[in-house]
Amino acid sequence: MKKIFLMVAIFTTTLAQAAFAQHDHANHKTETTALLPLYYNIKDALVSGNANLASSKANELLTALNTPEAKAIVGNSGDELLKYAGKIAESKDLKSQRANFADLSESMVALAKNFQLSTEPIYQMYCPMKKANWLSSSSSVKNPYYGNAMLTCGKVVETLK
């Protein structure tokens, strides 16, 4: 009888641990997938040339990056993300925001290559004029570095799945 009780206890403990591990993994996935749409919002604001909106959207990304869950996931790359999102948030100068977006994008590209940020394809774009990358949810080019001046300048260099 003691052996049966012991086996039931071990089995129950194992199931509970597996459930907690799965729940923890699900939370991490949720945290990382929440970052990508916030990044896309900054990109879209820069594409449209709206410095105030880019600043506001960068503040939203900062808030998300400052959660303990996000910090635990992004690790050291979070410092870079915070740094450049902060610079975009603080600035109302479109040229400065676009320069910092290039650095923010490099960190986001690295994050996207290390974590599954989306169940949908993520398109890594490249602007030869700026010599910088960015991420997009669409394969059609909408250049955040030059906006309307060179809206379709760039190409897809990689599709992350």
Q: Which amino acid, one-letter code, is at 104?
A: L
Predicted structure pTM score = 0.80
Q: What is the mean pLDDT of the chain?
A: 84
Beta strands per DSSP E along the chain = 122-127, 132-136, 155-160
Residues 76-120 have pLDDT tens digits of 778 899 999 999 999 999 999 999 999 999 999 999 998 888 899
CB count, 10 Å around CB of 35?
Answer: 23
Confidence band for 22, pLDDT divided at 50, 70 and 90: very low
By three-state DSSP, how is residue 50 classified?
coil
Cβ atoms of 150 and 143 closer than 8 Å = yes
In the predicted structure, residue 18 carries a pLDDT above the cut 50: no
pLDDT above 70: percentage of residues in the chain: 80
Beta strands per DSSP E along 3-154 = 122-127, 132-136
